Amino acid sequence: MGSSESKIWVFVEHRQGQLIEVGLELVQKALDLGRQAKWKVAAVLVGHHVSALAEEILTYGVNEVLMADDPLLKDYCNQAYAKTLATAVRHNQPEIFLLGATAMGMDLGPRLAAKLRTGLSAHCIDLELTDAGELLAVVPGWGGSIMAKISCLRTRPQMATVKPGVFDLPQSGQPRGRIITLDPVVDTKDITYRIVEVEREEVQQSDLDTAEVVVAGGWGVGAAENWKLIQDLASVLGGAVGATRPAVDEGWAEEKQMIGTSGRTVKPKLYIGVALSGHMHHMVGIKNPDLMVGINQDRTAPIFTHCDIGLVGDFKEILPKLITAIKPFFDR
Ligand X SMILES: Cc1cc2nc3c(=O)[nH]c(=O)nc-3n(C[C@H](O)[C@H](O)[C@H](O)COP(=O)(O)OP(=O)(O)OC[C@H]3O[C@@H](n4cnc5c(N)ncnc54)[C@H](O)[C@@H]3O)c2cc1C
Please, are residues 187 and 73 in contact by the beta-carbon 8 Å criterion?
A: no
Among ligand X, another protein, none, what binds residue 126 when CB lies within 5 to 8 Å by partner kind?
none
Q: Which residue stretch of 11-19, 24-32, 182-190, 239-247 sits at the interface with ligand X (rule: CB under 6 A)?
A: 239-247
Q: 7 or 123, CB closer to another protein? A: 123
Interface pick for ligand X out of 94, 100, 177, 218 (rule CB under 6 A)? 218
Q: 151 or 181, CB closer to another protein? A: 151
Among another protein, ligand X, none, what binds residue 218 when CB lies within 5 to 8 Å by partner kind?
ligand X
In the complex, the smallest distance separating the C-beta of residue 156 from another protein, rounded to whole angstroms, is: 9
Among ligand X, another protein, none, what binds residue 220 when CB lies within 5 to 8 Å by partner kind?
ligand X
Q: What does residue 137 show for φ and ψ, rounded to 5 degrees?
A: -110, 125
258 CB-contact burial (10 Å; exposed 0-12 / middle 13-18 / buried 19+): buried
Q: Which residue stretch of 67-75, 93-101, 167-175, 218-226 sits at the interface with ligand X (rule: CB under 6 A)?
A: 218-226
Q: Which residue stretch of 44-52, 115-123, 127-135, 169-177 sits at the interface with ligand X (rule: CB under 6 A)?
A: 115-123
DSSP assigned state of 236: H
Measured CA distances, 113 to 45, 78, 103, 121, 137 (Å): 18, 12, 16, 10, 15
CA 331 from centre of chain: 37
Please, are residues 94 and 116 in contact by the beta-carbon 8 Å criterion?
A: no
Please, are residues 127 and 162 in contact by the beta-carbon 8 Å criterion?
A: yes
276 binding ligand X? (CB under 6 A) = yes
Among ligand X, another protein, none, what binds residue 63 when CB lies within 5 to 8 Å by partner kind?
none
Separation between Cα atoms, residue 106 and residue 123, nearest integer Å: 8
148 binding ligand X? (CB under 6 A) = yes
Q: 38 or 200, CB closer to another protein? A: 200
Reported as type and span, the H/E element at residue 9 is strand 8-11
Measured CA distances, 315 to 214, 221, 298, 319, 329 (Å): 16, 8, 11, 6, 21
Binding mask 68-107 for ligand X (x = CB under 6 A): ----------------------------------------
Among ligand X, another protein, none, what binds residue 117 when CB lies within 5 to 8 Å by partner kind?
another protein
Separation between Cα atoms, residue 130 and residue 137, nearest integer Å: 11
Triad 127, 27, 144: Cα angle to 5°: 35
Of 2-61, binders to ligand X (CB under 6 A) are none
In the complex, the smallest distance separating the C-beta of residue 139 from ligand X, rounded to whole angstroms, is: 4
Q: Which residue stretch of 31-39, 125-133, 138-146, 233-241 sits at the interface with ligand X (rule: CB under 6 A)?
A: 138-146
Interface pick for ligand X out of 47, 135, 281, 294 (rule CB under 6 A)? 281
Reported as type and span, the H/E element at residue 29 is helix 21-37
- Say which amino acid occupies 313: G
Binding site for ligand X (CB under 6 A): 119-122, 139, 141, 143, 146, 148, 150, 218-220, 244-247, 258, 260-263, 275-277, 279, 281-282, 296-298, 301, 314-316
